[in-house]
Amino acid sequence: MRMDLTIKKDLDDTKVAFITCVNSEDWYSECRLYLESLKIPAGMTAEFIPVRGASSMCEGYNIGMNQSDAKYKVYLHQDTLVVNKQLVRDLKQLFADKTVGAVGVIGCRSLPRSGVWWDGLRTYGRVLHACEPESVVDSHCREPEGNCQEVEAVDGLFIATQYDIPWREDLFTGFHLYDTSLCKEMQRRGLKVVVPNQEKDFWCIHCPKEKPLAKEYKGYQKIFVKEYGGELNPEV
């Protein structure tokens, strides 16, 4: 597939924007504290874009995306804490490959028919999960052999991009499968999605509340499979 780079307006490669859908000021304050501690390369500036009151992740992320002309955009949950101080430098190195559209921290090489990335046979990446104060789990999957591994989908706790691809708010009107959808939209344009090598250290701590899968998840799963099912090639 040829790479489609007629994707969006001219973007400013001296800017990085951190975009977050916010419904808890306490969590966002913590998230922001970590972001403001990152080392920003000389000649670059960082923007912080909280989006409040969004009816869906896709809607919120489109609002944030359209507020910034930053070439590098990081979409992250309010309960994601970025601990890799050299994040921006590392992202720029990965995005030096112009065929890389998105970078996540954990995902799967090949999506199963269900469209659920964590059910994939080969998962890559690493995240420190702190669901409870007394329970910290290092979710460590396979590591890339080189500096990164191409995958079919990554988790939405952290997704960085170098091209502005619209989030499919026409299809995903809630808070599920928006992330896997974006990965497929990247691939439709001939762009790659990758997970970095985190063998030496993890990039993010994720602090989600443990809860059962929302009942509306299955509905969005059906929408995903209807839209992208013909493009999946599951490993068996």
Q: Which residue segments constitute the domains of the chain, with CATH numbers given?
A: 12-231 (3.90.550.10)
Interior angle at CA 106, CA 101 and CA 111, nearest 5? 75
Widest Cα–Cα separation across the chain = 49
Amino acid at 5: L
In the chain, % of residues over pLDDT 90: 83
Q: If you average pLDDT over residues 124-139, what whole number do you get?
A: 80
Residue 2 in this model has a pLDDT that exceeds 80: no
Q: If you average pLDDT over residues 212-224, what whole number do you get?
A: 91
Q: If you average pLDDT over residues 160-187, what whole number do you get?
A: 98
- DSSP strand pairing (70-76 vs 158-161): antiparallel
The whole-number pLDDT of residue 207 equals 92
Which pTM does this prediction carry?
0.94
Question: How far is residue 37 CA from its own chain's centroid?
Answer: 20
- DSSP strand pairing (12-22 vs 45-52): parallel
CA–CA dist 11, 111 (Å, integer): 31
- What lies within 8 Å, CB to CB, of 158 at 6+ separation is 74, 75, 76, 77, 80, 82, 104, 105, 203, 204
Tracing tokens 């910034």 back to the chain, one arrives at 68
